[in-house]
Every structure is written in structure tokens, then in C-alpha cells.
Structure 1
Amino acid sequence: MSIGQFCIRDTVIVGKGDTIVEAAKVMRQHHVGSVVVVEESEHGCKPVGILTDRDLVVEILAKEVAPEAVTVGDVMSFELVTAREQDGLWETLQRMRVNGVRRIPVVDDRGVLVGIVSADDYLEILSTELGELAKLLGREKGREERTRGS
């Protein structure tokens, strides 16, 4: 299965020139802990970074920087790791692990943002799959009892 099948398509975005306060308000409005920073291209929005609530705390609040003095582009994570829609779930998870990132934007063949996937999304996917596996084990026992008796 591809990551494109599982990524969250309703991605919350901001621009590099947006203020930190604007970005924080967008995060609050959408109840998310991160936003994908994008630049417009002829094909659509291309991700150039990520801004997280942790970035706001560590880079702005902890350093007592005035939020109005910096833009999203000043604080965002610059070493952006992305996945392509057709990349596999395992391949994407390994890319996240190797790069030490909890979330990864998903792009199409032109590099246009199509979604995002996070470690939390993986936990949800895996818990669902493990639940199905547990049901299988229970059904196997029931089938054996019906076909072979007690």
C-alpha cells in the first residue's frame, strides 16, 4: 500500500512570509501542532518547510523573541523530508525514523503538496491492523472448535 492512500489530505498550510502570530492562530483554529510551509508554483503549493508548536516554544518563547519580529521563514525547519504519494508505508516510516522527524509532507510527481502523515497516523494505522490480527486469532480458534469439536 502507498502512503498516498493513508496520508491526511486536508493539510494546514502557511507561507514563509506569514508572521509567527498568524501561524499560531492557524494552528489553534485547526487544532494542529504543525503547519506545512509552502511556496506557490505554477502547479500548486510546494512544501519548503514545517513549523511546529515546539519550534514556537524553543525558538520564540524560550529565547524571549518578540513574535512580531520574525516570520515563519525565520523559524521553520529547513531540512524538509518528504514522501512521494507512491512510496510505501514501510519505506516512508523508515525515512521518518532515519531523519528523526515525526511528520512528513506527501508530494506528487511534480513536488506539489498532496497531504501529510505523522507518527500519530502510523499508530492509528498499526493499531487498526493489530486489532484485525487479534480478530483473526479469535476466529481461528472458533473455527477449530466448530470443525474439530471440544
Structure 2
Amino acid sequence: MSIGEFCNREVVFATREMSLPEAAQLMREYHVGDLVVVDEIDGKRMPVGIVTDRDMVIEVIAKSLDIDEFSVGDIMGPQLVSVQEKDGVFETIRLMRTKGVRRIPVVNQEGGLVGMMSADDILDLLAEEMTELAKVAPREREREAKTKSLLT
């Protein structure tokens, strides 16, 4: 299973130059806690960072700084961790665990943004798969009972 099959392809994004109030308004409008920060290059959105509502609170608001003096680029994380859309779900989980990230942009071969995957999204996916797996044992018993009744 490739992560590209399951990622959220409706990604809310910001540019480095966007003000923090604008970013907060986007988060509120779309009910998200993070924005992928992109540079637009030749019409492609290339992810360069992530900014979260927590970043805004910890880096600016909690320090009583003027929120209007900062842009998204000023507070976004310094290193972006992303995953290729062809990579597997378990590879993605391992990478997220190793890097300590709960959200990860999904990119195509050219590095362009195609989606977003969060730890919560992966938990939902795995829960669905586990539910399907749990249905195997009762069906196996039904199949065995039918086979046994045909033989007697």
C-alpha cells in the first residue's frame, strides 16, 4: 500500500511571506492545526516547512510578542520531513517515529506537494484494516462448518 493512496490530497498551505494572523485565519476556516509552507516554483507547490497552531502559541503569543511582526517563514520548523507518494504506509510510520513528527507532507517524484498524512489519519487507516482482519476468524468458522456438513 502506498501512502499516496491514502493521504489527504486537499492540503491547506501557506507561503513563507504570509502573516501569522492570515495563517491563523486559514487554520480556523479549514479547521486544521497546521499549514504546509510552500514555495511556488514554475507553478508547482514545493513544500519547505510546516507551521502549526502550537508554533504560533509557543514562539510568539506565549512570549507576548507582536503577532503582526512575524511571518509564517519566521516561525516554521527548520527542517522539513516529507515522504514520497510511492512510499509504503509502514515506511511512513517508521519515518514519522524516527523523526518525531505527527504530520508529514506527501510529495511526487519532482518534490511537488500532493498530499498530507497525519498520525491520526494513519491510526484511522490501521483501525479499518484491523476491523477487516477481525472478521476473518468468524468467516473461517462458517466455511469450516459448511465444509463439514457437506462431508457428513
AA aligned opposite 2:127: S
Residue deviations 1:91-145, cap 9 Å, x none?
Answer: 1111111000001001111111000101011001100000000111221122223
Distance 1:57 1:10 in 2: 25
Distance 2:127 2:60 in 1: 36
User: Any runs of at least 4 consecutive aligned residues in structure 1 with deviations exceeding 4 A, and if so which?
Assistant: none
Helix, strand or coil for the counterpart of 2:60? helix
Structure 2 residue runs of 5 or longer lacking an equivalent are: none
Contact 1:43 1:112 in 2 (8 A): no
Cross-structure match for 2:105: 105
Distance 1:55 1:23 in 2: 11
Q: How does 1:60-139 map to 2 (within 5 A)?
A: 60-139=60-139
Distance 2:39 2:94 in 1: 27
Distance 2:31 2:134 in 1: 32
AA aligned opposite 1:24: A
Normalised by the size of structure 2, how large is the TM-score?
0.94
Contact 1:49 1:79 in 2 (8 A): yes
Cross-structure match for 1:48: 48
Contact 1:19 1:72 in 2 (8 A): yes
Helix, strand or coil for the counterpart of 2:63? coil
Helix, strand or coil for the counterpart of 1:62? helix
Cross-structure match for 1:24: 24
Residue 43 of structure 1: CA displacement? 4.7
Structure with higher Rg: it is 2
1:7 aligns with 2:7: yes
Residue deviations 1:62-118, cap 9 Å, x none?
Answer: 111111011100111121001011111111111111000001001111111000101
